[in-house]
Structure 1
């Protein structure tokens, strides 16, 4: 736990950079939310034999860069404009083409362009992913479910999050993929713990994951944040439950199977 007063913790959290998709500022101040599977290792295995692949909603490219060496032809898309520059700076030296993709249901690639699609916490446009995958191609996705960190909203007296949409869980996503013609190869869902050790970590998390509490600010939620700060001073932590699910799916047909 960081030993500091409420105002100092808030100021530090509000001054910390939030570009890209890097939770490094939270090291030692928050931990958890990781499910039992390793998305990183599953992604590395999928890419190992692929010649062409796509990473959807790559953020700042942090995770994808850590999977190098990458396939000979590798694309990454990003829907949030401020992240595109960070992703290009990190990924283009590795041979990755980074493309803006502001529309959630449109990928800027031709049909059948890739053998593997990676999607960690990105938008899951099932039919569009099926369009860019070759027959026999594989989708690996880890998604954030609609019950993710709902305890934060309750503790702050905030409305439930609206993104992901209500009832976004493994059954809903599986139905969308099978409806788009995919064959499901692996399906898992878990609710791992996420622990915050100081109020600054919680505030920074809400800045980075802005859809959890839309319109969040320390001023707007000041009384609730101060109550949580006092509680964490006594208990040393504040725990909530994340919501994660994993799907590995295949586009039927003859082709490469990573």
Structure 2
């Protein structure tokens, strides 16, 4: 195995543009939940005319689902990803919009299907842009994700470990009048086989250890490198949950004729 300095340098030089984790191929194993998000998305697409893909990243997952409905919109809020997604999705005639989960740039009742893989999820906005009978399919990263990394680095967790779980997400969707038809949650082993993979991962998902810098964390990273050399790997637990939900054709109404949806999230 190359030494610490070479592994870290290669990880620092690797591109983290877009949402492509191909650089980690062969350097990590596991991390896949028991369900198959893309397979279920493909099934739902067979009856979808109007699709929204939230937080599309570089458009990698959406492009893999082709052929797509004629009316497909992708949304991305992180500026560096927008030109990457545009280049990938333009030949597929996908409209690409900037925007955030709490303010989707679309009219009410626009989409038959909203896809959201590892993106921010706002139940109010999803319920608003779905047409009656429309569906949401989402795979989320929960707030207990990868906390072993934070512990190894001596870094604070990115959030309260109980702040984003399946139960919370389901409750918020229910509050917005949505019917949850499938809901699953798992803690999945995710194994790193060299310290370069750890550094690349923390660069690609900077919210795991906000403010991560390999020089700032050099001492714990070197300790982790020695652990991997002696034990062969370092394993964390990925927190994932999966929801498929439907907006009923008859929406629940509040006292002013508006949908009852008491809070965002």
Give the TM-score, by structure 2 length.
0.92
The C-alpha deviation readout for 1:44-95, integer Å capped at 9, x for no partner, is 1111111110000000000000000001100010011110110010011111
What residue number does 1:58 align with? Answer: 56
Give the 3-state SS of the residue equivalent to 1:188 in structure 2: strand
What residue number does 2:127 align with? Answer: 130
Distance 1:159 1:19 in 2: 25
Query: Which of 185, 192, 196 in structure 2 is aligned with 1:189?
Result: 185
Distance 1:120 1:30 in 2: 20
**Are 2:41 and 1:43 aligned?**
yes
Distance 1:209 1:138 in 2: 28
How many angstroms does 1:109 deviate by?
Answer: 1.0
What residue number does 2:202 align with? Answer: 206
Distance 1:19 1:110 in 2: 30
Aligned runs of 1:62-101 on 2, under 5 Å? 62-101=60-99
Give the TM-score, by structure 1 length.
0.95
Distance 1:5 1:98 in 2: 42
Query: Which of 154, 158, 177 in structure 1 is aligned with 2:155?
Result: 158
What residue number does 1:226 align with? Answer: 222
Which runs of 5 or more structure 1 residues have no equivalent in the other structure?
Answer: none
- Structure-2 change in CA distance of 1:165 and 1:228 (3 Å): closer
Distance 1:194 1:43 in 2: 24
Give the 3-state SS of the residue equivalent to 2:88 in structure 1: helix
Distance 2:206 2:101 in 1: 17
Aligned length: 250
What residue number does 1:146 align with? Answer: 143
What residue number does 1:31 align with? Answer: 29
Distance 1:211 1:42 in 2: 28
How many angstroms does 1:104 deviate by?
Answer: 3.3
How many angstroms does 1:20 deviate by?
Answer: 0.3
Query: Which of 2, 5, 9 in structure 2 is aligned with 1:4?
Result: 2
Which 4+ stretches in 1 moved above 4 angstroms?
none
**Are 2:211 and 1:215 aligned?**
yes
What residue number does 2:261 align with? Answer: none
User: How large is the Cα RMSD of the aligned pairs?
Assistant: 1.1
* Conserved 8 A contact 2:191-2:234: yes
Distance 1:43 1:91 in 2: 17
Give the 3-state SS of the residue equivalent to 1:44 in structure 2: helix
How many angstroms does 1:158 deviate by?
Answer: 0.5
Give the 3-state SS of the residue equivalent to 2:128 in structure 1: helix
